[in-house]
Amino acid sequence: MPPSAWITFVAVSLVVYGGFAWCLTIALRKGAGSENDGDA
Amino acid sequence: MAHRDRWASRATFLLASFGSAIGLGNLWRFPMIAYDNGGGAFLIPYIAALLTAGIPLMMLEFALGQQFQKSTPGSFREVGRKWEFVGWWALGVGTIIVLYYAVIMAWAWDYLAFSLREGWKGDPQGFFDRFLGLTEGPGRMGGIRWAAVAGLALTWGSMYWIIKRGVFRVGKVVLFTVPIPIILTLVLAIRGITLPGAVEGLKYYLTPDFSALLRGQTWLAAYGQVFFSLSLGFGILTAYASYQPRNSDITNNAFLTSLADTGYAYLAGFAVFATLGYLATAQGVPVSEVARGGPSLAFVIYPTAISLMPFAPVIGVLFFLTLLTLGIDSAFSIVEAAVAGMRDKWKVSQERTTAWFCLFGFLGGLVFTTGAGLYWLDIVDQWMNNYGLVVIGLLECVMVGWFYGTRKLREYINEVSDFRVGWWWDFFIRWLTPAALGVALVTTLAQEFRAPYGDYPTWALMVGGWSILAIIIVAAAVVTSLPARAGRKEA
């Protein structure tokens, strides 16, 4: 594959999967898996 | 206040939202749109569209449902009485879309069964001729195809079983229907990449053509794909968010859902283009000759490639199982949004309303199981997406941006969310997103006036396009004018 295709592959993977992992980390820190028990 | 159903946890809500957003379009539309619009360079306008329109609009839909604790028409009514109409319009468009979406799933059920005995082997083109019995045009119906009817019954039966217990059962089903297609697509991508010729296909997918970024069409395609892919304008996300407690996060949930949707679409591109590269190499033709999207990709091109592989029946089962699990949670999210709208307004039973809706869906979908069904599916799809959903998205922006007040909704969003949004959100909702949707709408309309869509006869476009849109608008107006029923909901 040409280098431009490799660069695209790495850059898009970092933005999309890295972005998702970062958001997920924040959510987990706030307890994304905890049960919903109504309004505050 | 009457008791409202709740998702078991934030994770369950997120899985349901992922399931709704990630659908067949991620597999058969995104990779082809990327290929047609600059390959790897398309990801630049796509991510820009995601940040400036997709995520802001998703936050808006989540925020309305979660703040008002009502499904789409009820939440919109809280903004102003006349806006309830837009909510019913959204549910009406979703209802028509699920009629044909269920038929595509019916084909996937049939092809799953064929996979067990390699039913397509040697004749993948038989999809159009023998399986669909495709006629010469939309005017010749050609009779009902019973295999598709059986698949359709199975699809609506599954959806009834899932939805009849509301979000309680949906929450359990998405534990399987969301991870399964992701894992299977990963398996298909790895299988594809290890085949001879795969690199040729991946070159087409990833090599950037930056000159495409100078074309307005590329940016329109990116905004269109983001909008359709994220389940915006259906009323689903508002209904789903209404089952979250009022103090739940909004911004991070919108980012997670949008990135999960994009991440899956990007992954699907590897499975699709690696396989196309293999097929092109095996047939000794350029990849551009086998690169097609939509049903042709899923039911003709991919089965052709699979039939050339070792262990074809196994790969075939995996592929059609991927299609089914991808489609089912998108389809039942539309049904749940519609049923929630009716439950909120008339306090009707979840189970009975779901049963009637599924029966209507099955009967309404029969027209797409005829020999002319694919033509009608194509026409209805064009009108529902480009005129139905786009106008709803536009009206949502106007409703919040110019009537309810973006600042008021932003303050609520910031109060409950993991991270805060600034003035930019107001700008996107008031100006940028409606401008992008407005340009998309005008461009499609101009194209329609220049040349009728798909070279179909004008009467067919009037019946399958404009008439259905008009019926939805009239039905939405009638439903809005009907009085709501007070009191507690039945179980």
Segment B354-383, tens digit of pLDDT: 999 999 999 999 999 999 999 999 999 999
For the stretch B299-303, contacts whose Cβ atoms lie closer than 8 Å and that sit 24 or more positions apart, written own/partner, are B299/B107, B299/B111, B299/B124, B299/B127, B299/B131, B300/B124, B300/B125, B300/B127, B300/B128, B301/B124, B301/B276, B302/B272, B302/B275, B303/B111, B303/B120, B303/B124, B303/B127
Whole-Å CA distances, B218 to B35, B78, B191, B195, B288: 11, 37, 31, 31, 18
Candidates B59, B167, B243, B266, partner chain A, best to mutate (most A CBs within 10 A): B266
Name which of A8, A19, A27 is nearest B206 (Cβ-Cβ).
A8
Whether B3 maps to a domain, the answer reads: no
Residue B208 in contact with partner chain A when CB distance is under 8 A: yes
Predicted local confidence at residue B49, as pLDDT: 93
Whether B449 maps to a domain, the answer reads: yes
CA distance B335 to B166: 10
Q: Which of B42-46, B248-252, B292-296 has the lowest mean pLDDT?
A: B292-296
Whether B491 maps to a domain, the answer reads: no
In the block, residue with structure tokens 């026409």: B379
Q: Say if residue B216's pLDDT is above 80.
A: yes
Name which of B208, B246, B266 is nearest A16 (Cβ-Cβ).
B266
- The domain tally of chain B equals 1
Whether B464 maps to a domain, the answer reads: yes
Contact (CB<8Å) B260/A20: yes
CA distance B159 to B251: 30
Q: Which two tokens stand for residue B193?
A: 């990449």
Can you spell out the DSSP letters for B248-263?
A: S--HHHHHHHHHHHHH
Predicted local confidence at residue B42, as pLDDT: 94
Whole-Å CA distances, B437 to B56, B277, B387, B418, B442: 13, 35, 10, 29, 9
Phi, psi of B307 (to 5 degrees): -65, -20
Please report which confidence band the pLDDT of residue A30 belongs to, taking 50, 70 and 90 as the band edges: confident
Half-sphere exposure of B217 (CA within 13 A, CB side): 8
Please report which confidence band the pLDDT of residue B122 belongs to, taking 50, 70 and 90 as the band edges: low
Contact (CB<8Å) A17/B249: no
Question: Tell me, what's the ipTM?
Answer: 0.91
CA distance B384 to B469: 7
**Residues from chain B contacting residue A39 (CB–CB below 8 Å):** 245-247
Whole-Å CA distances, B195 to B308, B359, B479: 11, 44, 55
Q: Which of A19-23, B303-307, B463-467 has the lowest mean pLDDT?
A: B303-307
Predicted local confidence at residue B24, as pLDDT: 94
CA distance A19 to B132: 42
Predicted local confidence at residue B294, as pLDDT: 86
Residues 6+ apart with CB under 8 A from B463: none
CA distance B186 to B200: 19
Residue B7 in contact with partner chain A when CB distance is under 8 A: yes
Name which of A20, A30, A37 is nearest B249 (Cβ-Cβ).
A30
- The length of chain B is 491
Whether B312 maps to a domain, the answer reads: yes
CA distance B194 to B311: 14
Whether B5 maps to a domain, the answer reads: no
Residue A36 in contact with partner chain B when CB distance is under 8 A: yes
Candidates B209, B255, B419, partner chain A, best to mutate (most A CBs within 10 A): B255
* B131-176 confidence digits (pLDDT tens): 899 999 999 999 999 999 999 999 999 999 999 999 999 999 999 9
Whether B220 maps to a domain, the answer reads: yes
**Residues from chain A contacting residue B270 (CB–CB below 8 Å):** none
Nearest CA of chain A to the CA of B257: how many Å? 9
Whether B128 maps to a domain, the answer reads: yes
The model's pTM is 0.94
Predicted local confidence at residue B248, as pLDDT: 94
Residue A32 in contact with partner chain B when CB distance is under 8 A: yes
Predicted local confidence at residue B306, as pLDDT: 87
Predicted local confidence at residue B98, as pLDDT: 97
Nearest CA of chain B to the CA of A11: how many Å? 10
Domain assignment of residue B341, given as a range: 10-481
Q: Say if residue B29's pLDDT is above 80.
A: yes
Candidates B30, B175, B252, partner chain A, best to mutate (most A CBs within 10 A): B252
CA distance B90 to B385: 11
Q: Among residues B176, B277, B455, which one has the least CA distance to residue A1?
A: B277
Contact (CB<8Å) A32/B255: no
Residue B164 in contact with partner chain A when CB distance is under 8 A: no
Q: Which residue of A has its CA nearest to B269?
A: A9
**Residues from chain A contacting residue B208 (CB–CB below 8 Å):** 4-5, 8
CATH number at residue B94: 1.20.1740.10
Residue B207 in contact with partner chain A when CB distance is under 8 A: yes
Residue A3 in contact with partner chain B when CB distance is under 8 A: no
Name which of A19, A27, A36 is nearest B245 (Cβ-Cβ).
A36
